Amino acid sequence: MDNGAIENLLQTRVLDGKRIAEQIQNEIKEEICKWVDRGHRKPCLKAILVGDDPASKTYVGKKMIASESVGVDSEAIRLPSSISEDDLIEKIKQLNSDDSVDGILVQLPLPEHVSERNVCNAVDPHKDVDGFHVTNVGRLTLNMDSFIPCTALAVIELIKRSQIETFGKNVVVCGRSKNVGLPISLILHSDARNECPGMEATVVLCHRHTPPEQLEIYAKTADIIISATGVVGLIKPHMVKPGACVIDVGITRVKTPEGKTKLVGDVEFEGVRKVAGAITPVPGGVGPITVAMLMSNTFKAARNLAATKATEQQ
Amino acid sequence: MDNGAIENLLQTRVLDGKRIAEQIQNEIKEEICKWVDRGHRKPCLKAILVGDDPASKTYVGKKMIASESVGVDSEAIRLPSSISEDDLIEKIKQLNSDDSVDGILVQLPLPEHVSERNVCNAVDPHKDVDGFHVTNVGRLTLNMDSFIPCTALAVIELIKRSQIETFGKNVVVCGRSKNVGLPISLILHSDARNECPGMEATVVLCHRHTPPEQLEIYAKTADIIISATGVVGLIKPHMVKPGACVIDVGITRVKTPEGKTKLVGDVEFEGVRKVAGAITPVPGGVGPITVAMLMSNTFKAARNLAATKATEQQ
């Protein structure tokens, strides 16, 4: 083992997502302040919450609090779980054509009788701060400037701000969901010669049909492991290369022996932190940064829409 | 080595792309015949060829011959290399709104003063038989029904028709181009529970910044290696697991000692065929199937447009 590896073992960094999120939110707050000083109205975010799912309510609540703290005007629009797809899309269209609205998000999951895909595609791509519209997905795949799903953006921002090298490195992404695992892998393998800054890593995208022994082989050679599966304890200490960076995007609610509930990730944190060079906790890792990236996307939408309007008026 | 591996060594299959392409084209020809018998006009393909690049002329020529043979009406529209981006896009718009045209393709590369991305996005996504429009890229990424780039489709069709198992298998894709390597990897890792049939493989996407020794490690564990880089001799015998399937999408024109030119792929064919279980030659591998898949996409566009028109008339 070389000195670098020994040093890593001695200095495992726990990547503090809360601190990074605060940093980002402070930066955004400052920028929005300047933006408003230059005569613009505050950025405006509308979050649509369908039904009464407690987790969804919590998430939307966190987004509202973050908006408040950075200077984004926000509103949670609550709709009954009985709403038809057509009525929901009609509501979205009203927000699309409302010039005072910059960002629109529809909190998922939606009731079963509503097609999430149709709803995501109903949001104006220019206001699509969740990055779920097919046009934004296509633009991301082509490494064009686009709205990128906030969790993926959070992982990338965490990597950058923690100075984790990606160029020519081996990355294992566990989970191929369209909103998390897949966009993360698309950004990580991307070519720096494209419109968006590339990360230039070699990416292995693993999923439920990757045989466990094969996942181990890939994980052991990985410089960075990103797990976004919701499988508790998927990433174990013996699977991690000493000094690797381990990013845990999993969030699962489990019962403690005392009958309480707590949030846990995909990674066996206590064991893995003894091997890894850097690791994110759950909670307090990627989660808080995700909300900060939503603020970033909302401000981006506001700037873009203002620029478009200025061009139209010329 | 188990019996299966020995058997593989003894029976390396050279996957005959020409034969598979003929099969596909015969099937399409028969279907188009029935389609026309039911009172529809022949599918119609327009290929735009800008400038005088000899390779582009050859490719467009092959597409015209294939069209003729399956019963697709086709025309190569030749435009001067001095054409402006606006004029080229204007020409595309005319074809978009022409009800007698089902498929439109713009042969790449385009002259440097023209943005290929703008041009690809100008083609009506419903007529985009090359699958290069951002909407089709987004739909493919989301595993929705879409037009898929013909070379990627050819590789998938070759795998399916050669009964190469992908479920839970390890695949190494070399090359992350937006038209070839990336769409291939998107399809191969896809989830069978989505709109489009998934291939369920674990995919490693390698590229110019994957260290060569790392590429070797990944390649040696791969059940399927797909190389689409244009790097002659990239895939060498010692990198291939006995019995693996090796698909060569590279095409490079090289000079022979006699001063002639010939086409070669990315794979050291003679050496690798002694190790692999199945291998594609260059030429005569993926190339011919690519043209067949263009015919398939054109017929698909014709069926879709006819269905849309029928719905509109109801």
Specify whether B160 is located in the same domain as B203: yes
Average pLDDT of chain A, as a whole number: 95
What's the CATH number where B91 sits?
A: 3.40.50.10860
Specify whether A93 is located in the same domain as A164: no
Q: What residues of chain B lie within 8 A of the CB of A205, using their CB?
A: 185, 189, 202-203, 205
| Alpha carbon distances (Å) from B129 to B101, B107, B292, B302 | 12, 11, 12, 10
Active-site pick, B42, B46, B63, B241: B63
| Alpha carbon distances (Å) from A173 to A41, A132, A205, A219, B187 | 40, 20, 5, 9, 17
Round to whole Å and give the CA distance between A286 and A264. Answer: 12
What's the CATH number where B254 sits?
A: 3.40.50.720
Q: Reply yes or no on whether the pLDDT at A8 is more than 70.
A: no
Specify whether B76 is located in the same domain as B108: yes
Round to whole Å and give the CA distance between A276 and A241. Answer: 7
The pLDDT, as a whole number, for residue B10 is 58
A10 pLDDT tier (thresholds 50, 70, 90): low
Specify whether B97 is located in the same domain as B164: no
More confident residue, B251 or A2: B251
Specify whether B199 is located in the same domain as B266: yes
B8 domain-assigned: no
The pLDDT, as a whole number, for residue A314 is 80
Chain A: give the shortest CA distance to residue B260, in Å. Answer: 34
The number of residues in chain B equals 314
The pLDDT, as a whole number, for residue A195 is 73
How many beta carbons lie within 10 A of that of residue B198, not counting itself?
Answer: 20
Q: Interface of chain A against chain B, CB under 8 Å?
A: 117, 133-144, 167-168, 170, 176, 178, 182, 185-186, 189-191, 200-207, 209-211, 214, 217-218, 221
Those residues of chain B that have pLDDT short of 50 are none
Specify whether B205 is located in the same domain as B257: yes
The pLDDT, as a whole number, for residue A4 is 52
A18 domain-assigned: no
The pLDDT, as a whole number, for residue A3 is 54
A296 domain-assigned: no
Round to whole Å and give the CA distance between A171 and A189. Answer: 9
A2 pLDDT tier (thresholds 50, 70, 90): low
Round to whole Å and give the CA distance between B27 and B49. Answer: 28
- Largest Cα–Cα distance of chain B, in whole Å? 65
Specify whether B152 is located in the same domain as B272: yes
Specify whether A212 is located in the same domain as A152: yes
The H or E element containing residue A243 is none
Parallel, antiparallel, or unpaired for β B44-50 and B103-106? parallel
The pLDDT, as a whole number, for residue A9 is 53
Average pLDDT of chain B, as a whole number: 95
β-sheet bridge partners, residue A75: A46
pLDDT, tens digit, 9 for 90 and up, residues A235-276: 999 999 999 999 999 999 999 999 999 999 999 999 999 999
Round to whole Å and give the CA distance between B218 and B206. Answer: 9
Specify whether A62 is located in the same domain as A159: no
The pLDDT, as a whole number, for residue B160 is 97
Domain containing residue B272: 148-287
Q: What proportion of chain B, given as a percentage, has pLDDT over 90?
A: 93
Prediction ipTM score: 0.94
Parallel, antiparallel, or unpaired for β A13-14 and A278-279? parallel
The pLDDT, as a whole number, for residue B14 is 97
The pLDDT, as a whole number, for residue B132 is 98
Specify whether A120 is located in the same domain as A157: no
B278 domain-assigned: yes
The pLDDT, as a whole number, for residue A183 is 98
The total number of structural domains that make up chain B: 2
Q: Interface of chain B against chain A, CB under 8 Å?
A: 117, 133-144, 167-168, 170, 176, 178, 182, 185-186, 189-191, 200-207, 209-211, 214, 217-218, 221
A254 domain-assigned: yes
A272 domain-assigned: yes
A298 domain-assigned: no
The pLDDT, as a whole number, for residue B6 is 54
A194 pLDDT tier (thresholds 50, 70, 90): confident
Specify whether A155 is located in the same domain as A263: yes
A222 domain-assigned: yes
Specify whether A278 is located in the same domain as A153: yes
